[in-house]
Amino acid sequence: MARFLIRRILLGLFVVWLTVTLVFLIFFVGPGPQDVARRLAGKQATPQQVHLVLLRLHLNQPMIKVYWHFVWNQLLHAKLYSYIHDQPVTTVIREAFPLTLSLAIGAAIIWFVLGVLSGVLSAVRRGSIWDRSATATALFFYSTPVFVLGLILLYVFYFQFSRAGIHVFPGQGPGAVPHNPLTFFKSFLLPWMALALISAATYTRLTRGSMLEVMGEDYIRTARSKGLLERRVIYRHALRSALTPVVSQFGIDVGTLLGGAILTEYTFGIPGLGWTAVHAIEQNDLPVIIGIVVVATAAVVAANILVDIFYAFLDPRVRLH
């Protein structure tokens, strides 16, 4: 176990390093230092201003030195400053992360409950009208991009409801973490719904397939032939092992979302990590991009390790090495 953890954490650190280097290559080496400086200086910049930017960011030095300066002096000592906002990147992330966290956790709870429940019911009453409609609904949401659903929810629940005099759903997500918890909660209702409905579709399909597979196993027949109640067979015996792949998918999905739910945040204008990253990319704010990419990669890597550990706890046949 200890050896496994060390190996996985080392591999995780390697992936984070690789990501940072890739981002660096994409933004610095790809377009070339002159181009980077010109873009950072802005459209109306004079050649002198461009040169000033070049000097300030050490871009006139060999690439390897720029890289070293960037990774060692700035990243490892958490001294990255946003080019555009004159703010430490840590501050930018600290302000954006709670919003992404609230979005991800709220949506995750809804979609897990919704997806697993409808998946189990579908599998248990396979072929019934409930199963068919649940499967069709799941397929529909599975095929709908989150930004399409988000905009349609905004149209119906914000615009049409407001026109009818019902002001329950605000038109946009939260601008920042507010002082009033109720406003905060309400501003998340539509983003949660959009994200949760689409993710729940995947979980319905996954749970249903996994349940059906487990229900065909011998030990389920054994449990039935022991005379156990059908409910006990389903919820105690079948669900337990059917949920293993579902929960590991859940861990990875939540991990991915914690690095920024880019499309949902962008659609609802929530300034979380994903929204901030898109804007940083538009403005070529490399330090902010790198900061967010590090957080996002770390979240995915951590989620993967946690899922593997979870697997080992749940399934004694899995040995970690």
- The residue from 195, 262, 270, 288 that contacts another protein (CB under 8 A) is 262
Region of 57-65, 93-101, 152-160, 221-229 interacting with another protein (CB under 8 A): 152-160
The amino acid sitting at 152 is I
Rounded CA gap, 262 and 225, in Å?
50
Q: Is 284 in the site for another protein (CB under 8 A)?
A: yes
Q: Is 23 in the site for another protein (CB under 8 A)?
A: yes
Q: Is 190 in the site for another protein (CB under 8 A)?
A: no
Q: Is 238 in the site for another protein (CB under 8 A)?
A: no
Q: Is 137 in the site for another protein (CB under 8 A)?
A: no
88: β partners: 81
Rounded CA gap, 292 and 284, in Å?
13
- The residue from 47, 127, 165, 316 that contacts another protein (CB under 8 A) is 127
81: β partners: 88
- The residue from 108, 116, 154, 193 that contacts another protein (CB under 8 A) is 154
Region of 24-32, 189-197, 221-229, 230-238 interacting with another protein (CB under 8 A): 24-32
- The residue from 73, 90, 91, 143 that contacts another protein (CB under 8 A) is 143
Closest contact distance (angstroms) between CB of 144 and another protein is 5
Q: Is 202 in the site for another protein (CB under 8 A)?
A: no
- The residue from 19, 199, 204, 276 that contacts another protein (CB under 8 A) is 19
Q: Is 219 in the site for another protein (CB under 8 A)?
A: no
- The residue from 4, 21, 27, 314 that contacts another protein (CB under 8 A) is 27
Region of 47-55, 93-101, 181-189, 260-268 interacting with another protein (CB under 8 A): 260-268
Nearer to another protein, 39 or 228 (CB): 39
- The residue from 126, 220, 241, 312 that contacts another protein (CB under 8 A) is 126
Q: Is 72 in the site for another protein (CB under 8 A)?
A: no
Q: Is 260 in the site for another protein (CB under 8 A)?
A: yes
Rounded CA gap, 151 and 268, in Å?
8
Closest contact distance (angstroms) between CB of 163 and another protein is 9
Q: How distant is the alpha carbon of residue 118 from its chain centre?
A: 23
Q: Is 282 in the site for another protein (CB under 8 A)?
A: yes
- SS3 assignment for the chain: CHHHHHHHHHHHHHHHHHHHHHHHHHHHHCCCHHHHHHHHHCCCCCHHHHHHHHHHCCCCCCHHHHHHHHHHHHHCCCCCECCCCCCEHHHHHHHHHHHHHHHHHHHHHHHHHHHHHHHHHHHHCCCCHHHHHHHHHHHHHHCCCHHHHHHHHHHHHHHHHHHCCCCCCCCCCCCCCCCCHHHHHHHHHHHHHHHHHHHHHHHHHHHHHHHHHHHCCHHHHHHHHCCCCHHHHHHHHHHHHHHHHHHHHHHHHHHHHHCCCHHHHHHHCCCCHHHHHHHHHHCCCHHHHHHHHHHHHHHHHHHHHHHHHHHHHHCCCCCCC
Q: Is 170 in the site for another protein (CB under 8 A)?
A: no
User: Which burial class, exposed, middle or buried, applies to 265 when counting CB atoms under 10 A from its CB (0-12, 13-18, 19+)?
Assistant: buried
Closest contact distance (angstroms) between CB of 212 and another protein is 7
Binding site for another protein (CB under 8 A): 11, 15, 18-19, 22-23, 26-27, 30-31, 35, 39, 126-127, 139-140, 142-145, 147-148, 151-152, 154-155, 159, 212, 256, 259-260, 262-263, 266, 274, 277-278, 281-282, 284, 289, 292-293, 296-297, 300-301, 304
